[in-house]
Amino acid sequence: MGVIKRELWPNGTVLLAKHLDTVSLAKVVNRQIVALSGPEEFIGQTFQSPSAAARALTGYSTNGWLLWTPIETAFVEAMERALS
């Protein structure tokens, strides 16, 4: 059986992951995932796949397609306005 290759979410998509008591955000930029928030050592890192980002966040191998959830753009923009 071959490996199934999935397309990354569209450029600009904001992703949310919850691990333990931490909520982390990342964004798809130029076909990579850039960590926006979460544990200090996670922020600013760039990853080639959702699973690579998930592994860096959790510390163990996990399915990033299941861990990361895309957030609606309107919600993200409303949160940015509320926090600024």
Answer for the pair 55, 65: CB distance below 8 angstroms, yes or no. no
Helix (H) or strand (E) holding 52: helix 50-58
- Our count of domains for the chain comes to 1
Give a yes or no: residue 31 inside a domain.
Answer: yes
Residue 35 falls inside a structural domain: yes
Instruction: Assess if residue 1 is contained within a domain.
Output: no
User: Can you give the pLDDT at residue 5?
Assistant: 60
Is residue 7 domain-resident?
A: no
Segment 44-58, tens digit of pLDDT: 999 999 999 999 999
Range of the domain at 52: 14-83
Q: What is the pLDDT of residues 63-77, one digit of tens each?
A: 999 999 998 766 777
Residue 53 placed within a domain = yes
Whether residue 4 lies inside any domain: the answer is: no
Cβ–Cβ < 8 Å for 33, 46:
yes
pLDDT at 74: 67
On whether the CB atoms of residues 50 and 64 are closer than 8 A, the answer is: yes
| Position 8 in a domain | no
The span from the CA of 42 to the CA of 34, in Å, is 9
pLDDT value at 80 more than 60: yes
Residues 4 and 34: their CA atoms lie apart, in Å, by 23
